[in-house]
Amino acid sequence: MIRNVLWMRRGLMARLMLCAVAMLNTGLSAADTAPGRDPKQPIDQAYTAKIAKYTTEPYFTSPLVNYLPASKTVPTPEAVLGDIAGAPGILPYSAQVYQYMRMLAKASPRVKVYSIGRTEEGREMIAVAVSSESNMAHLDANRANLAKLADPRTIHLDDAEADKIVGASVPVYYITGTIHSTETGAPTALMELAYRLAVDDSPYIREIRDHVVTLITPIVEVDGRDRMVDLYRWHLAHPQENYPPLIYWGHYVAHDNNRDAMAMTLKLSRNVLNTFVGWDAQVLHDLHESVPYLYDNTAGDGPFNAWVDPILTNEWEILGWRNVQDMTKFGMPGVFTHGQFDTWSPGYLMFFAAMHNGISRLYETFGNGGADTEERTLQPDEYSRTWWRQNPPLAKALWSQRDNNNYEETGLLTSLYFFSDNRMMFLKNFYLKAKRSVMKPENEGPAAYVLPANDPRPKLQGELLRVMQLQHCEISRATSAFFVTVPVLKKSVAHTHGSSQAAKESAAGAKPEAQSATKTMNFPAGSYIIRMDQPYSRIADALLDYQYWSPDDPQKTPYDDTGWTFGELFNVKVVRVTDTKILDVPMEPVTTIAPPSGVSGAGTVFAINDNADTALATLRYRLKDVQMEAAEEPFEADGHKFNRGSFLVHGVSGGDLRHAVSGLGLEAYGLSAAPTVKTHPVRAGRVAILHTWLSTQTEGWWRQALDSMHIPYAYISTQTVAKDADLNAKYDVILFPPVGRFVTPDLIINGLSTDWGNPLPWKNTPETPNMGKIDSTDDTRPELGWDGVAHLQDFVKHGGVLVTVMDTANLAVALGLTHGVTVSRTPHERIIGSVVRADIVDPKSPIAYGYGDRLSIYCFNGPAFNVSSIVSRGGFRRLGSGEDGRPTGRGTLTDPDFVVGRKNEPVPEEPHVKPWQAEPVTNEELRNGIGVIPPAFRPRVIFRYAGVRHLLVSGLVQGGEAVAQHAAVIDVPMESGHVVLFSNNPIYRGETRGSYSLVLNTILNFDSLNAGRKLDTQ
């Protein structure tokens, strides 16, 4: 999980007097069962000898895992692996792992295997349950009990009844492995763990088996696992050669698969959450491998997510520190908790538990990215002793996959034992957290969130509600119109948005005297209500609320995004309601979200309004041979109002159109006469997504988005572009999504040198059957090269549209693929994955079609663009005394300057130029104006960042002056084509769906981007 260890910081202070807490709740008495084998049970001698052989130091193991109990009937992992778990050179495919788990299930009544769904590429995901025969025989009854604790409404919030159920229930502890494909140790550790839990008769393990259901998903990212095993085997087969990094993990994204717990775009997220909720599990413990030797992130650093129950944050501390304590007693170095990264974002897989009344846990153990045994040398910040790491890892050590497995299994077994020993407390807490979630409206608020029925973007609204459903939230719909009382907010960021009405309300709320005022707010029948008196209210509250990360927070290196407010990012109106009367509004539960669609009117020209809903693009490609036009101005027809960009559809029957718009939330009106408004064609352009061989992490979200909207595209690499001198023959639009924050322009152009070393293939071969299917190459080292740059430039000059984003926009500017744009350095900018406000500059640009005056966008230290009408002069500001100043002289501030000894003529007024604008071209500059860009070729700013006072919507904004008011979205005409530059990332993690249409509009209007353009007069 750790992206970059240097990003992390040391903890600042101790948090809790833990000893007292632990002693109250746990038996720290002599009654504690000693860990270690039962001398009466024979051990598997050969297996045990290999454990010792592959463990590189005696202190890299524990009495829990330094032996393997023997069984006459149950096979050990050796049966499938041909060697023991963690053996050097052994990395099993998912099929082998599953084969072993099913062998276990066949041989032992204590084990069952469940299929929990499929991946994007169709591979199976499983969960393995291990517990005593008796527990396994009563799983359904136990689940029924746990379901009552999980939903306290079923027992009328009756604590006494809950206590009875707690006493009769067995908790479920869910362990997930290998979400990150380069972190390879968990599957073998979990195979062996399952064996131990099923077979070992030591009192310590029996305590776990008798009182806990251990649920194991050995591989979360199955597609990536099989690719990683391919890669490792290629490495073993070519021991003298370098091997490529794992460029593709999952089908779409790499480590961001562990950032999907909010938007739920990936199958693995859905499958794991369904399993967690379906079992009513108490813990979700996710295994990672990038920190020496075992970092228990359970008690992480601040800030903590502000929506979780404090009961949970206390559980984190209890579990985390107890884990360190147990392993400290075993003498295992490098086991620690607390340190390093914050617990703010709910995007991590483990956070499913935190947001669904369970306990989220995460381990980082130490992996070698494969099963080679290697000498590992650490950095000082990794081996230093700190207050939270009293026994740090060694500066240098020989480290094996077996060592890693020893740490993983030991940590898990001590956790399971402690959890089992304190199961009553944890089960009661599970119930209490659920109960407190149900009581949210009275206890803390809000009472509900409302998504009004009249939202102009029903498709996006439906998608937001669908995310809530995937999160297992209950959704209701008002059966009649209703009103609630809402406070009039004092700040510019009102908790209602997405319309000009909201903007007015915000402005009204800016009056200080209005702070304590309330007003009524009306909602139409059919409005969606997400009640907060439900067990999973917390996740809805966390996703729909606003975030504020103080620039003064002691945590200076946020580990991930600081803001995510879903209503803002989806461009969907969401109202936070604290008035508990809303809970009495007549409403009915909603199971299927079906945005209204349809066709009305008798005419044959159909008009469809444009509200920047993503559905229009889907429709365009669904009816790709049908003639469609976009209106360049708003118009009215047959009593309906249509925005700029609205579609006029010709030559299709009402029936066909009705079929095509179904499910899209689009209303088509058959007009009695074609409107006279100016239009241009909207074509189903040929799209390519351009990727590098350096990283496919961030562009993967673009593929996911286009796939989800059924927009076809070619998937090409920088190497394709380097070889293809006629890109226009194949594509109209090339999307070049961000490559990654750690990738330099040098790498994107030059790649890795081919002057030395061996080729690094990424290919589908019998040797690597899981690689090379998404894209392939004989050698991943070359990138764009200067040929590729020239080909992209030709593509644009001949009418192509190149879309660039963040780092690729910087690259386009630096390479001279644009003119009139420069990028400022912004060393003090700290906008760390925040939601910020953009204001519209040119609503007539097709890129802005359907949007209102403002839009919330996702920004990560977005580049600050400057535009100019003079070549290479972006950011230029004429010298002077500033907009309010005047020279030192006679008179007052507002008087003109005064020259003694001559008649004072009034000086011409200098134009006031805003940061997103270019300085007007002067007559002086036009004298032999060889550097003056002709008006038709000047950069056209579509959106700009808001002023610094209004920039922050959600998250952290510090040093916002660097980008405030600067251009955020620019269309640069280059000969016949265009380069479009984004400072924000419009397509990101399935969360920014409200800004998808900026890209979709660019695609749909690729050959008419100059529409509505007003040219400078000189």
Give the residues lining the site for Zn ion (CB under 5 A).
1, 180, 183, 288
Which positions ≥6 away from 958 have C-beta within 8 Å? 551, 828, 829, 830, 831
**Smaller CB separation from Zn ion, 180 or 620:** 180
Q: How many CA atoms lie within 13 A of 442 on its CB side?
A: 4
**Smaller CB separation from Zn ion, 363 or 482:** 363
Q: How far is the CB of 833 from Zn ion (least distance, A)?
A: 18
Q: What distance in Å separates the CA atoms of residue 425 and residue 141, rounded to the nearest whole number?
A: 21
Which positions ≥6 away from 812 have C-beta within 8 Å? 736, 802, 804, 818, 979, 981
Angle, vertex CA 695, rays to CA 848 and CA 364, nearest 5: 115
Strands 172-176 and 283-289, by their bridges, are parallel
**Smaller CB separation from Zn ion, 180 or 227:** 180
- Asked if 642 and 631 count as a contact pair (C-beta separation under 8 A), the reply is yes
* Residue matched to tokens 């309300």: 505
Q: How far is the CB of 349 from Zn ion (least distance, A)?
A: 10
Which positions ≥6 away from 158 have C-beta within 8 Å? 152
**Smaller CB separation from Zn ion, 257 or 643:** 257
Angle, vertex CA 320, rays to CA 318 and CA 322, nearest 5: 65
**Smaller CB separation from Zn ion, 255 or 576:** 255
Q: How far is the CB of 185 from Zn ion (least distance, A)?
A: 11
Q: Kindly state the DSSP code that residue 272 receives in the 8-state scheme.
A: H
Q: What is the 3-state secondary structure (H, E, C) of 929-951?
A: CCCECCHHHCCEEEEEECCHHHC
Q: How far is the CB of 915 from Zn ion (least distance, A)?
A: 40
Q: How many CA atoms lie within 13 A of 394 on its CB side?
A: 12
**Smaller CB separation from Zn ion, 224 or 846:** 224
**Smaller CB separation from Zn ion, 183 or 610:** 183
Q: How many CA atoms lie within 13 A of 813 on its CB side?
A: 27
**Smaller CB separation from Zn ion, 293 or 536:** 293
Q: Which of 261, 264, 256, 267 is nearest to 220 (CA)?
A: 267
SS3 state at 821: strand
**Smaller CB separation from Zn ion, 288 or 854:** 288
Q: How far is the CB of 830 from Zn ion (least distance, A)?
A: 25
**Smaller CB separation from Zn ion, 136 or 219:** 219
Q: Which of 234, 269, 235 is nearest to 250 (CA)?
A: 269
Bridge partner residues of 128 (DSSP): 113, 216
**Smaller CB separation from Zn ion, 404 or 965:** 404
Q: Kindly state the DSSP code that residue 303 receives in the 8-state scheme.
A: E
Q: How far is the CB of 362 from Zn ion (least distance, A)?
A: 9
The tokens of 665 are what?
């939330």
Q: What distance in Å separates the CA atoms of residue 693 and residue 246, rounded to the nearest whole number?
A: 10
Q: Determine the residue type at 648.
A: L
**Smaller CB separation from Zn ion, 180 or 703:** 180
Q: How far is the CB of 221 from Zn ion (least distance, A)?
A: 10
In this structure, what are the phi and psi dihedrals at residue 822, rounded to the nearest 5 degrees? Answer: -130, 165
Q: How far is the CB of 297 from Zn ion (least distance, A)?
A: 10
Q: How far is the CB of 184 from Zn ion (least distance, A)?
A: 11
- Asked if 751 and 722 count as a contact pair (C-beta separation under 8 A), the reply is no
Q: How far is the CB of 255 from Zn ion (least distance, A)?
A: 6
**Smaller CB separation from Zn ion, 183 or 226:** 183
Q: How far is the CB of 310 from Zn ion (least distance, A)?
A: 27
The tokens of 181 are what?
């494909």
Say whether the peptide bond before residue 846 is cis (omega within 30 degrees of 0).
no
* Residue matched to tokens 């938007």: 263
Helix (H) and strand (E) counts in the chain: 30, 39
Which positions ≥6 away from 847 have C-beta within 8 Å? 942, 969, 971, 980, 998, 1001, 1002, 1005, 1009
Q: How far is the CB of 290 from Zn ion (least distance, A)?
A: 6
Q: How far is the CB of 354 from Zn ion (least distance, A)?
A: 17
